[in-house]
Amino acid sequence: MNIGIVCYPTFGGSGVVATELGIALAKNGHKVHFITYRRPARLNEFYDNIYFHEVSSMKYPLFEYSPYETALASKLVDVVRYEKLDLLHVHYAIPHAAVAFMTKSVLAAKGIHLPVVTTLHGTDITLVGNDKSFAPVVEFSINSSDGVTAVSEHLKQETLAHFEISTDIKVIPNFIDFNQFKRTNQDHFKKAIAPQGERILTHTSNFRKVKRVQDVIEVFDRVRKKLPSKLLLIGDGPERPDMEEICRSKGIYGDVRFLGKQHAVAELLAVSDLFIIPSQNESFGLSALEAMACEVPVLSTNIGGLPEVNIQGETGFLCDVGDVANMTARALEVLTDDKKHQQFRSAALNRAQQFNIDAIRPMYEDLYSSLLNNS
């Protein structure tokens, strides 16, 4: 198949999933074309069968805001026509599903039928898409797609609750590439971070309020008072300056490393003893799955799609949003008991293997084939 993929080229979950899916499809013999405004962050080396088409927006004094959607649709029409795409897969409904409809309409006028798959990732439905100013277009665009997928059962139900959906939504969960995410021997690295054998707690996010990074810091501060520990904070975003100031005011900045955006996430997870994800909203929790693939127990909230990934009392613990006291108790429970910690490590890996990309990729291929056969 000759497949076009539209996504945000960032470190965010939707961009990561779209890129990793494209790479997996290319390795399985498909031609994959990424169409976006910048090379995707995870597309950091050369791959056979992968092509990148950059979208450039016109800068003109009349435009207060650059008309990216029009530029993207025009680029898609061009790529579909001249690269002979069989199918278009857009990730994150806003604005990509609407742009896909525009693209389909232009192509239809030229006698070209293009099947479109839209994958819903979370905030495109639960936060941004639910805004009254966007909702009508989001609803129409979803219903106009030939195939719709959601990354969790929770997200599917949220979509059905907030919109009048007339098309079927297929749940295809996020996945993990075990060639990339696996536990490796990083003893030298671990000694550099925790020279006295301290426990290493880790958090990865875009540092936005919904991620509740302050809860991570509060849990770490309480754990640290009872157990020598270090904290790794991976990622960047608007909340980072405030989080740095909180660490300074608590006097724990020396034990916290703000690492910013990283390509080598797997290497950092490989030295971690506990992964913390205290979000107030997660449609799936891809970062938790990545940690589990590296045999790291997960301490998470019990909201959204997280309970579909993290199993209470087996791969980690689920806590109420903002319940820092319980999170601390659970963290200490697993970090101070070596036997339990190892059991959680093994269970985390076993659970993550159920989301192996080799098991998930065929679900998308089957969906693509069914749409092409029907068309």
Domain spans of the chain, in order of start = 2-175+356-374, 187-355
Which H or E run includes 274?
Answer: strand 274-277
> How many percent of the chain have pLDDT more than 90?
82
Q: Are 2-175+356-374 and 187-355 the same fold in CATH? A: yes
Residue 139 contacts residue 163 (beta carbons within 8 Å):
yes
Question: Would you list the DSSP string of 215-227?
Answer: HHHHHHHHHHTTS
Query: Would you say residue 129 has pLDDT above 80?
Result: no
Q: State both tokens at 141.
A: 């665009």
Q: What is the mean pLDDT of the chain?
A: 93
Q: Nearest-5° angle of CA 28, CA 31, CA 37?
A: 120
Query: How many CB atoms neighbour CB 202 within 10 A?
Result: 26
Q: Is the pTM of this model over 0.85?
A: yes
pLDDT value for 130: 64
pLDDT value for 184: 82
Judge: domain 2-175+356-374, CATH 3.20.170.30.
Answer: no
N-term to C-term CA, the chain: 14
Q: Give the model confidence (pLDDT) of 181-237 as tens digits.
A: 988 877 888 899 999 999 999 999 999 999 999 999 999 999 999 999 999 999 999
- 310 vs 299: CA distance, rounded Å: 8
CA dihedral sign, ordered 341, 272, 183, 359: positive
Phi-psi region of 321 (alpha: psi -120 to 50; beta: other; left: phi over 0): beta
pLDDT value for 189: 84
Average pLDDT, stretch 333-345? 97
CA dihedral sign, ordered 238, 240, 241, 242: positive
Q: Looking at the domain 187-355, which fold is it? A: Rossmann fold (3.40.50)
Q: Give the model confidence (pLDDT) of 16-58 as tens digits.
A: 899 999 999 999 999 999 999 999 988 888 889 999 999 987 7
pLDDT value for 107: 97
Query: Would you say residue 371 has pLDDT above 80?
Result: yes
pLDDT value for 46: 87
Q: Give the model confidence (pLDDT) of 77-88 as tens digits.
A: 999 999 999 999
Average pLDDT, stretch 341-359? 97
Nearest partner of 14 among 99, 101, 120, judged by Cα: 120
In single-letter form, the type of residue at position 101 comes to F
